[in-house]
Chain A
Amino acid sequence: MNREKRNFSEWLLEQLCREEYLEEILGDLGEYKEELSSKPKWQRKVLYWFHVVNFLKPWSLKKFEGSQKLNQYGMFKNYFKTSLRSIKSNGLFSSINIVGLAISMSVGILMILLLSELNSFDDFHEDKENIYRVTSNKFMYGQELDMGSASYFVGDEVSRRVPGIESSVIIREGVSADIGVDAGLIHLSGLYSTPDFFEVFSFKLKQGNPETILDGPNKIVLTSSIAMKLFGTEEVIGRTLDFQSTGGWQTRQINAVVAGVMEDPPKNSHLQFESIVSMDTYDQPATSGTGWDANYRTDPQDFQGNYAYLKLKDSTSPKDVESSMAEIVESYNAAQDHAVTHLLQPMDTFVTSDKYENDLGPRFSQSQLNVMLVLALVVLLSACFNYTNLSLARWLRRSKEIGIRKVSGARRGQVFTQFIVEAVMLSLLALVVGIGIFLLIRPGFLNMPNPASSGHSMFSLDIGLRQVLYFIAFTFGIGLVAGFMPAYFLSKLKSTVIFSDASKVKVFAGLNFRKVLSVLQFALSIGLIMCAIMVNKQYQFALNYDIGLDTENIVNVKIKGDYQELLENEYAKLSDVVEMSTSMMTMGTGSAELAMIQPEDKSSQSIIFWNGIDHRYIEMHNVELLAGQGFLNPLVNGQDREQIILNEHALEALNLGSPEEAIGKFVHMRGFWRAKLQVVGVAKNFVNTSINTLGQGEIMMNKGFGFVQRVHSETSGLLGVKFRGNDLVGLMRELEAGFKLHDPEHNFEAEFYSDEIADTYAAQKTAFTLISFLAFLAISISVLGLLGMAVFTTESRMKEISVRKVLGAGIKQLMFVLSKSFIWMILVSGAIAIPSAYYVVDKELLASYNYKVDIGLVEFLSGFVIVLFIGVSSIIWQIRKAAVQNPADLLRNE
């Protein structure tokens, strides 16, 4: 027999089948396998296993040892019955276990669904394993950046020059428009794409010729749902669609002809869009705005929002393509300080990779997933511990049953199986309840902001047949884990010992094990509570951090056209409006423009971030100036920018000396415009990014920042409105009414400044919500367990309590005696949990934060105190009940 090639199915059959048939069965299986090789992969697997299982029939199975028959249904039926009885007769313990397991299983279910949906992302593409995205590594903003985007140049060159590429497509972001139809405004989003879009991807085209559909300019493919919204029908080929697209910092007029209609992209597609516009359309210059470069097809620098996908032939190795790409950019790199390198990213990592900045599609990073998995595991283990603990504690009740079974000839393995079956059954009951709980928490989870994408809306979390199978397998696993220890200990008991002198077994090996489990469980709860409290403190800290700007009572209204002044006049009429000022972007949320800046003598250069503001901005937002003054007059259209306000970091980077010295000096600035600017003011450093996150945050941290003047009445930007009074709803309504008066075409977009800042910290908020939710679950589970243990202890010590009482013990003394061991356990778990949780929070959770909150004594002890309080009160509740009973009632019946 070929030992090396033996796989699991063969091993299984070897174990189970009679020797005389084995060779034949394996041979037949081999033949079936051959037959199946023409079927698709999943069918092959399923049918193969069908055949494997089909061979496991009474005729083929080995006779089992001794008098035992293969048919053990009777035995299992018996296990099933005794399990049911035992679950029923111990209502309290069963319900504690079921509730605990159900709570933790709801989290487990969530994780299973999350995992299976993440794994199935982009599964609908044929040849998914051959599709790659070109990534770029480039030195930018003072550090190396891995980006999911790549220049048109490299995508184009590689597909033309390198053999072994079946097809390729280049996609560009930036189709975004509000289109007016009879029913109102419809928002249209989309991508620009080169012609082979439908060859690389397996999106289903309903109408249109896939060969030529995106050839040439002014062609658009609509998804069927947007076609229905725009035209009310799907028969739209040849109809024209004219709109102004404002995306990627520019506005362009697109007069497109509908060339095709496709099915909506599936939810598990990383590309989400409503329309595809042919790339040739993008050749025409933008009507206004910045960022369009006529040479975008040949510029190896043009990385922004441009994505190249390659579909390789089966025989092509991605490594070869990568080295070809290196050759393509070689000549370009030779002239650069920092080389650009391009690599290939396989499709199955598009969603889970957290390596790449600037990528397309939703993300749920592996690290994020790992944190959630660990937390879910903690909660699950906690519930398993409960089961183990309570079953071990109650061993005495079951010992007689075990004794009888053993005397009647049960082997250890059979008693073991019996307890495992019981645990699995209980878990199955818990699964039913758990699915119910899951359905309750699902909407909450889906609505939680996802730090890496627009929301958890990338998931649907639907339960299908396959998922149910996963759940059941998972439940069996849980049952096994929870039931293993009790089954192991209980099946070890000897019947002679059980019947002769039960007190001998009192010193039970399980006892210490039980305590260890309880301590662990409490340590986990304490740790989770501490984490939740500290993450929340960091979140609050970030929200209230003085970023150096006044953001209270300010609403930022988006300006979308040539009516700034009219709008201001309109708003000035409102009684609640105090002041107004305009800027290009919102400060403090991480958005900013980038430019090169040099002192007048060009002796050094530095990157600075900048924002355009008007002459009223500094005053309205209370930006503190160390020297000089703000802008005095509005910058009228056509006038050149002449002044700049720098912050302290910028002075440092440019060696401009002290704030006072810097005033009046000149600098050269080069962004997508160039200017020589005079420093008129120096501002204190402020925070213009999420203060918590690394990555982009770090890039923008401690970098120079400058304010230049925003052109008055530019067609885009923000109008900051400072208001008084508390009628926020009324104010918003008035603002919207005023906006609609001058811009009936666009949607009114306005946000409270403080809300925008809060959005910047959505990731922390999510982390806090998740951790505190899980902490809540963990603590409920451990308190349930504690309650069960307290009930059990008091019940089994009733006689002791009565005797003590008769001998004169007071309630207080009794409570002390009974709760001593529990409190001791909580103290030990606190001693374990506090330092380790502190370590985790300090070194892992908050390690990546720029400004860390101080952890005080309160946070330090909080989790411990909470657990101690809840634990002690639940014990006392139980013990009090026992302690106040009349001892005569208990002792009389002896």
Chain B
Amino acid sequence: MGKYSIGEFEEVILLTVAVLYENAYGISIKEDIEKRLGRKVSVGAMRTALSRLEKKGFLKSEFGEASAVRGGKRKRYFKVTPHGKKALEKVMEDRSKLWEAIPSMAFDFKFA
């Protein structure tokens, strides 16, 4: 497991970066999570998660072109690295393994 260790929030961020593909930067990530998942995201938590993911090598970032809307400031775009993709797959795989292992009776709440 160790190599692909990833938290729940980090996973959400990583997935969102992947969803947004070429348009993943600070605000868009935050807003996308808020819109899609309906949960509040604090800028600080997101920043910390992003920088941690980058440190782990799941993400890489680069500055894009300056845009007028942002007062001439560049955006820092994030992209999922192959390593990151593996990490996500690993999480998925782990989950589905677990799902498959659940006996059918376990979720049968009718008689409980």
Which residues on A are within 8 Å of B, measured CB to CB? 1-2, 5, 21, 23-24, 26-34, 54-55, 57-60
Contact = CB atoms under 8 A, between A and B. Distances in A.
B73 A23 contact: yes
Interface string B22-55: 0001110000000000000001100110010000
A1 B75 CA distance: 14
A611 B57 CA distance: 98
Interface of B: 25-27, 43-44, 47-48, 51, 63, 69-76
A32 B74 CA distance: 15
Contact of B71 (A21, A30, A54, A57): A30
B26 A59 contact: no
A54 B46 CA distance: 13
5 tightest A-B contacts by CB? Answer: A27-B73, A30-B71, A27-B70, A57-B44, A30-B70
B69 A59 contact: no
Given A58-B44, A59-B44, A27 B71 contact: yes
Contacts of B70: 26-28, 30-31
Contacts of B75: 24, 27
A24 B44 contact: no
A58 B71 CA distance: 25
Q: Of A27, A31, A58, which is in contact with the most chain B CB atoms at under 10 Å from its CB?
A: A27
Contacts of B27: 28, 31-32
Nearest to B50: A59
B43 A54 contact: yes
A57 B42 CA distance: 10
Contacts of A28: 26-27, 43, 70
B108 to A, nearest CB: 46
A7 to B, nearest CB: 10
B47 A60 contact: yes
A755 B104 CA distance: 99
Nearest to B64: A27
B73 A30 contact: yes
B74 A27 contact: yes
Nearest to B72: A2
B26 A26 contact: no
B73 A26 contact: yes
Given A31-B27, A58-B44, A24 B73 contact: yes
A32 B31 CA distance: 12
Contacts of B72: 1-2
A419 to B, nearest CB: 33
Most buried by B among A1, A5, A23: A23
A31 B75 CA distance: 11
Given A24-B75, A27-B73, A59-B48, 5 more contacts: A24-B76, A27-B26, A28-B26, A28-B43, A57-B44
Contacts of A33: 71
B3 to A, nearest CB: 25
Contacts of B51: 59
A558 B25 CA distance: 80
Nearest to B63: A23
Most buried by A among B26, B47, B73, B76: B73
Nearest to A54: B43
Contact of B69 (A24, A31, A54, A58): A31
10 contacts: A5-B71, A21-B47, A24-B73, A24-B76, A27-B73, A34-B69, A55-B43, A59-B47, A59-B51, A60-B44
Contacts of A58: 44
Nearest to B74: A23
Given A23-B74, A24-B26, A24-B76, A30 B69 contact: yes
Contacts of A31: 27, 69-70
B9 to A, nearest CB: 14
A33 to B, nearest CB: 8
Contacts of A21: 47
A31 B27 CA distance: 8
A2 B26 CA distance: 22
